[in-house]
Amino acid sequence: MRDLKKQAAKEAKRYEKRIAEEARRVAREQARRKTDLDREQAIQKGQAAKAVKREEKRITEEPVRLAREQVRRKTDLAREQAIQKGQAAKAVKREEKRITEEPARLAREQVRRKTDLAREQAIAEDQEARRRKAKNRLL
């Protein structure tokens, strides 16, 4: 019987020890969860603060960005207009050159046509002379 009492006392002690250990484990788990939650909330607060700062910075820099963009657009437009003006000037110059060179080109073309016509006439006359010569030989 004494062994049973000792056994029961040991069992009761182990049970109490287990209960106390479980209570400590639950307390550690709760502390860990609270620490994790606090850490997560701090991270979220930090992110929210950064987002607010970024938005404030964007709002303050927006007029400067818009002004730069407007200047860039004006510069681009001026550059395009300068290019178009240059191209128009070159086109005018080409047309003026073509107009001044047109009489000379027409004269060269007329000379070439006359030369071609004279050559064709000479060939035709030569052929006619050969034909007559051949005809005279036959007679």
Q: How many CA atoms lie within 13 A of 111 on its CB side?
A: 6
What pLDDT, in 10s, does the model give residues 57-116? 999 999 999 999 999 999 999 999 999 999 999 999 999 999 999 999 999 999 999 999
Mean pLDDT confidence for 112-127: 95
0.85 surpassed by pTM: no
In the DSSP assignment, the letter for residue 84 is H
Greatest extent of the chain over all pairs of C-alpha atoms, in Å: 171
DSSP H helices in the chain: 2-138
Residue 118 is encoded by which pair of tokens?
A: 């004279």
How far apart are alpha carbons 24 and 30 in whole angstroms? 10
Question: How many C-beta atoms lie closer than 10 Å to residue 54's C-beta?
Answer: 10
CA 87 to chain centre: 27
Mean pLDDT confidence for 113-135: 92
